Amino acid sequence: MSKISNLIDNITGKTEADLKLKEQLTFLQKMGENKAEVFQNELKLMLSSDTIGNIEITGKRAFRYFDAQHVNISREVDRSIDKAIDDFFMGSAGVKAGFQKIVKQSLDGLIGNTSIGETTKHMFFVYPENFAVVRVDVKCYKYTFSSKDIFANNVENVFVYTMAKSIVDHTKLSVDELIYMVTEMIGSDKIEGVKDFVKELRSVWKMLEDDAREPANILTGIENGLLSVK
């Protein structure tokens, strides 16, 4: 699998074949960028809606997006996707490794689908990051051509994905949900690590909640419109 922009950049020749290949890849790149933009707009609208909060753990106002366009995706996830996941997800190495594994497993069905035409998939993941609970939405699009001869360079399929990251209100989570998320990322075989992480996470939240209850901080919050008096 290759990133389309990298393939375009690597075309340095001026022959007719080179120019044709560059034109075709540029067309695929533009198509992928348009699809990624549609995905981003859909995610913005979804995350700003109050309705999904009734059925899912949801964040508000995505604060980071990432998208990429590839050709010839196969069952083996490319290093470029590994790197994108690595750059997009912060936090401890153990949590990040667990998250990468879950994302790859979730992509298996889409990657292995060899049906001609287009396939889309929307996934979301909830996990702890930097003492907050984060929701990451991933929207993917794959188009498989009927023949490798349609485009030059033996292009078999196009793969586009957009990721959005938003913060979840931790006060809406139960302890059971928190433990499940942390265990899924760190691993059920590392129970001490799970316990230490949850304990540290809850201590930070408690500190912030206690700080907000201080009279001076409450007064400041009311003056700034952050707190209401009932």
The DSSP code for 146 is: S
Does pLDDT of 173 surpass 80? no
185 and 123 fall within a common domain: no
Q: Is residue 228 part of a domain?
A: no
Angle between helices 175-186 and 93-112 (to 10 degrees): 80
- Listed in sequence order, the residues at least 6 apart from 58 whose beta carbon sits closer than 8 Å to its beta carbon are 47, 52, 135, 166, 168
Burial class (CB in 10 A: 0-12, 13-18, 19+), 192: exposed
Does pLDDT of 110 surpass 70? yes
pLDDT band for position 184 (cuts 50, 70, 90): confident
Measured distance CA(158)–CA(180) in Å, rounded: 35
Mapping DSSP to helix (H, G, I), strand (E, B) and coil, where does residue 200 land? Answer: helix
70 and 31 fall within a common domain: yes
Q: Is residue 229 part of a domain?
A: no
61 and 24 fall within a common domain: yes
Q: Is residue 210 part of a domain?
A: yes
Does pLDDT of 144 surpass 80? yes
Measured distance CA(188)–CA(194) in Å, rounded: 8
Predicted confidence (pLDDT) per residue in 3-59, tens digit: 899 899 998 888 998 899 999 999 999 999 999 999 999 998 888 766 554 446 676
111 and 78 fall within a common domain: yes
pLDDT at residue 136, as a whole number = 86
- Tell me the average pLDDT across 90-115: 74
HEC string of 52-108 equals HHHCCCCEEEEEEEEEEEEECCCCCCCHHHHHHHHHHCCCCHHHHHHHHHHHHHHHH
pLDDT at residue 36, as a whole number = 95
Predicted confidence (pLDDT) per residue in 74-96, tens digit: 765 566 677 777 777 776 666 67
25 and 116 fall within a common domain: yes
* Structural domain boundaries enclosing 108: 2-170
**pTM of the prediction?**
0.75
Measured distance CA(119)–CA(63) in Å, rounded: 27
Percent of the chain whose pLDDT exceeds 70: 79
Question: How many beta carbons lie within 10 A of that of residue 106, not counting itself?
Answer: 15
Measured distance CA(88)–CA(110) in Å, rounded: 21
Domain end (from 170, 189, 205) = 170
Q: Which residues pair with 139 in a beta bridge?
A: 122, 162
